[in-house]
Amino acid sequence: MSNPDHPPAVGVLDQGPELIFPPGFLWGAATAAYQIEGAATEGGRTPSIWDTFSHTEGRVVAGHTGDVACDHYHRMPSDVRLMAELGLKSYRFSVSWPRVQPGGSGPANAAGLDFYRRLVDELLGHGIEPWLTLYHWDLPQPLEDAGGWPARDTAGRFADYAELVADALGDRVTYWTTLNEPWCSAFLGYGSGVHAPGRSDGADAVRAGHHLMLGHGLAVQALRASRPEAQLGITVNLYPVTPASDAPADVDAARRIDALANRFFLDPVLRGSYPTDLAADLREVTDFGHVRDGDLAVISTPLDLVGVNYYSRHVVAAPVEGAEPEPYWRAPSCWPGSEDVRFVTRGVPVTDMNWEIDTPGLTETLRRVHEEYSDLPLYVTENGSAFVDAVVDGQVDDVDRLAYFDAHLRAAHEAINAGVPLRGYFAWSLMDNFEWAWGYTKRFGMVWIDYDSQARIPKSSARWYAEVIRRNGLAAQ
């Protein structure tokens, strides 16, 4: 689909051998509150589902918790200075709901809001555009106790929380995304249970997905009313889904997983409807009785941008008798109604998460959103890789991570050349941090964290990224 407002910028971009990005391209890095802040019980913060989950034996590798994390809560000003040294144009962070509205309802916690006011002021003071995510998975525990995301009321609570944050920060934050990766909240949190709150019920996962999107739509309406000039969006994690062969059964397996992973969210948010094949695939799981009249109109409230998180591709095949269930996000319980689909490993290079590196998948994903769904500006709100790093002579030479970023930026550039209105890119992550169920055992950062001393060491990828930002592009290959 071509869009007259966003013409392909081929002529502008092809300046010699370098790959130059469009003027004003928003170069950033991302983090999330529970993964970096620590200070779990300070300043009036109360537990979220991730505090409860990580403190429950056997849930997180090695019993790690976010209690201290990167101690960013106390080190925020120097962390912002580090961002400025790297030349970041933008910083994507999330607000901890239980820090600013302990318990998830009722009045704001002034001390909690104050932390984010100071963060935003520091960022603006260094010329760094704040990019605020309202929900990166840390639901206040009392809301989970009242039913969590499978309960409809949680959507309304989320809209109230959005309004409260808008009142406090709306005068100084332009870019707002509601949810980070609702697929993970719904299907890892309530389906497979490998994420907080650790429940495992297919129907609850589907209900959670719906109420997350309802909360998104209500929050967008609240934000729009309060800050008409804000740029509003959502971040979804998307995967190209490829059948392992042309056999019709494999093609159908890919269709099913695409419906659950991608179209479950893209269709309601950007088209105002659920895919009909999804409802058919899930008929043994749920009758969608939780969807009320008017919900889809709320969910599809117009946005200003779409955030895409991209890490890898799913390759799938039809079920075979007796196939072993696979780990983590391939766990059968992540895919209600499609539990017997097989995820195929191709033997291509993987990261330390065992995620296959699939660079063309980023171009494909961005093109798909633009060509099939929306003319809205797109942003890569996360992209990155975990690798095993080592400090040698005070340096961390993370060549694999650097190569991953470089290749994916080339893929992003290719999408721009194909006409995608891609306006920015956020590396995941600014710094090593609490990688959810993997605790501190997986490092995604451009900046090394020494968890004993809390020292920060910019890795080679950070220095390289600073240069990419400085020249607004990549060197010739």
Query: What's the min distance (Å) between Cβ of 265 and ligand FCB?
Result: 14
Cα separation, 263 vs 412, whole angstroms = 21
Q: Does residue 53 touch ligand FCB according to CB under 6 A? A: no
Stretch that binds ligand FCB, among 115-123, 177-185, 246-254, 455-463 (CB under 6 A): 177-185
- Distance CA(415)–CA(380), nearest Å, equals 11
CA separation, residue 379 to residues 26, 137, 175, 425 (Å): 9, 20, 11, 6
Q: CA 209, CA 212: separation in Å to the nearest integer?
A: 5
Give the residue from 111, 109, 190, 98 showing the smallest Cα distance to 142.
98
Instruction: For residue 382, state whether it binds ligand FCB (rule: CB under 6 A).
Output: yes
Q: How far is the CB of 186 from ligand FCB (least distance, A)?
A: 13
Instruction: Note whether 435 binds ligand FCB by CB under 6 A.
Output: yes
- Structure tokens of 297? 């109109």
Give Cα 421 distance to the centre of its chain: 19
The residues, any chain, with a CB within 8 Å of residue 429's CB and separated by 6 or more, are: 29, 30, 31, 35, 382, 384, 444, 445, 446
Stretch that binds ligand FCB, among 73-81, 114-122, 178-186, 243-251 (CB under 6 A): 178-186
Give catalytic status of residue 284 as yes or no.
no
Query: Residues 183-212: x/- map of binding to ligand FCB (CB under 6 A)?
Result: -x----------------------------
CA distance 138 to 45: 12
Q: Tokens 């929306």 map to which residue?
A: 374
For ligand FCB, the closer CB: 109 or 177: 177
Smallest gap from Cβ 111 to ligand FCB, in A, equals 25
Q: Which of 181, 356, 364, 435 is catalytic?
A: 181
Nearest distance from residue 442's CB to ligand FCB, in Å? 8
181 is catalytic: yes
Residues 262-321 that bind ligand FCB (CB under 6 A): 309
Under rule CB under 6 A, residue 352 binds ligand FCB: no
Residue positions counted in the chain:
477
Question: Which H or E element spans position 155?
Answer: helix 153-169
Nearest residue (CB) to ligand FCB, 135 versus 161: 135
Footprint of ligand FCB on 11-40 (CB under 6 A): 32, 35
The pair of three-digit structure tokens given for residue 346, joined into one six-digit string: 């191709």
DSSP 95-158: --HHHHSGGGSSS--HHHHHHHHHHHHHHHHTT-EEEEEEESS--BHHHHHTT-TTSTHHHHHH
Binding flag, residue 436, ligand FCB (CB under 6 A): yes
The CB-of-188 to ligand FCB minimum distance in angstroms stands at: 9
User: In this structure, what DSSP letter does residue 275 have?
Assistant: -
Q: Which is nearer to ligand FCB, 428 or 440 (CB)?
A: 428
Residues designated catalytic: 181, 382
Query: Which residues form the interface with ligand FCB (CB under 6 A)?
Result: 32, 35, 180-181, 184, 237, 309, 382, 428, 435-436, 444
